[in-house]
Amino acid sequence: MSGLLLGRPWFRPGARSPSSRPAGHPRGPTPPPTTNLLDAVIADHQHKLPSGPSKQTLYEAFGEHTAAGGAVSDHLGYSVVSTLLTPRAPNDAEFPDQVPDADKELALRVLEYLSLQGTPVLVMGTFAMLYQAAIFSPPQPRTTVDTNTDDDFFAPSPSARNQDDTDIDTTTRISRMITALHLPYHPDDARRLMTMLFQNGDDETFWKLWRRIPLQGAPRSAEDYVMLFRLHAQLGDPRRAERCVLMWFPMMAREGLPASAAQGEIARLVVRCIDLPELGTLKRVSEGRQLDQLMQIRDEAIQAAATGSKGETEHPRNR
């Protein structure tokens, strides 16, 4: 599996294969360098969206640093990969708001280096970055000539290339790998990944990961429920929002979440989900017993939101 992920997928026939270590100057007798220069390049990218040339500059700085014997921490390596897989700036001349194959290739070279030095790369954070890159990939031109190599990780599968919508196949393949690998769980990375899955319409993988959270040895957190209700409120689909509230608002208490966790933001988001039909011409879906339960939850959420707001205003005065 790691060979598939970290292989060099965008090479075409006749292309030159890169070495596993990014190109740079030969090691000399000087002491290993610090990460100051590399940190500075990364910090510069945090203040502005990257362009093609700036990503190349970052990759070359990484290559020079590692070729000179510089240490690469897990955090530093992930930061380099994340920057390389970030969509280019909207004013980029070639690929505005996109992650072209060239950027992905640089990122996978860095991932390959990290893997060889023992950094865990089959983790949720890595797949979240890869999934984002797939979402922002440039549209593939339709052609009858198959130029994809067998190890092309981001290329559509043969069956998908015969379908009308090939753009979604890349993200589908990554989703299947995510669910099959049972990746080590990290709450922040998991929420980031689930958010992208939901917003990209991959409901099946989203709910698989959501239901897998308690299996990691800890119950779902308040942050998890904030994410869940916010996504449904933003989606604007009354049917799905009401079903979500009816199923998961009562579940919070069963999972042992403290009462205070349901106050504040969670309560306000629950009210937003229930009130979606009131915001336009949308029709309320629930009726009968379900509608009664929904209105009861709404009253509880309004009261909890008021309690949470009162606590937020009184807390600074009481300190």
**Per-residue pLDDT for the chain (319 aa), expressed as one digit of tens each?**
444 343 333 333 333 333 334 444 444 455 556 667 777 777 777 767 888 999 999 999 999 999 988 889 999 999 999 999 999 999 988 999 999 999 999 999 999 999 999 999 999 999 999 999 999 999 876 554 444 444 444 544 444 334 345 445 788 899 999 989 888 899 999 999 999 999 999 999 999 999 999 998 888 999 999 999 999 999 999 999 999 999 999 999 888 887 777 778 999 999 999 998 765 545 566 667 888 899 999 999 998 888 766 655 555 445 4
Residue 307, domain member (yes or no) = yes
Domain boundary among 58, 89, 121: 121
Total residues found in the chain within this entry: 319
Terminal CA-to-CA distance of the chain, rounded, Å?
Answer: 54
Within a domain: residue 250?
A: yes
Q: Is 60 exposed, middle or buried (0-12, 13-18, 19+ CB in 10 A)?
A: middle
Residue with token string 């309560």: 267
Q: What is the pLDDT of residue 116?
A: 96
Please tell me the total count of domains within the chain.
2
35 vs 31: CA distance, rounded Å: 13
pLDDT value at position 291? 86
pLDDT of residue 224: 96
Among residues 121, 140, 172, the one where a domain terminates is 121
Residues 6 or more apart whose Cβ sits within 8 Å of residue 85: 99, 103, 104, 107, 129, 130, 132, 133
- 248 lies in some domain: yes
- Quote the CA–CA distance of 238 and 275 in Å, as a whole number: 8
* pLDDT at position 33: 62
C-alpha atoms less than 13 angstroms from C-alpha of 311 in its C-beta half-sphere: 12
Q: Output the pLDDT for position 9.
A: 36
Residue 262 placed within a domain: yes
pLDDT at residue number 262: 73
Closest CA to 305 of 261, 246, 274, 253: 261
Counting other chains too, the contacts that 218-221 makes at CB distance below 8 Å and 24 or more residues apart are 219/255, 219/256, 219/257, 220/252, 220/255, 220/257, 221/187, 221/257
Alpha carbon distance 171, 87 (integer Å): 16
306 within domain boundaries = yes
Within a domain: residue 103? yes
Whether residue 183 lies inside any domain: the answer is: no
Placement of tokens 């393949």 in the chain: 173
Domain that holds residue 288: 219-311
Alpha-carbon torsion angle 285, 290, 295, 296, nearest 10: -160
Question: What is the C-alpha separation between 68 and 236, in angstroms, rounded?
Answer: 53
Question: pTM for this structure?
Answer: 0.75
CA distance 131 to 85: 10
- Answer whether residue 305 is part of any domain: yes
> Of the candidates 121, 141, 174, which is a domain's last residue?
121
Distance CA 231, CA 241 (A): 9
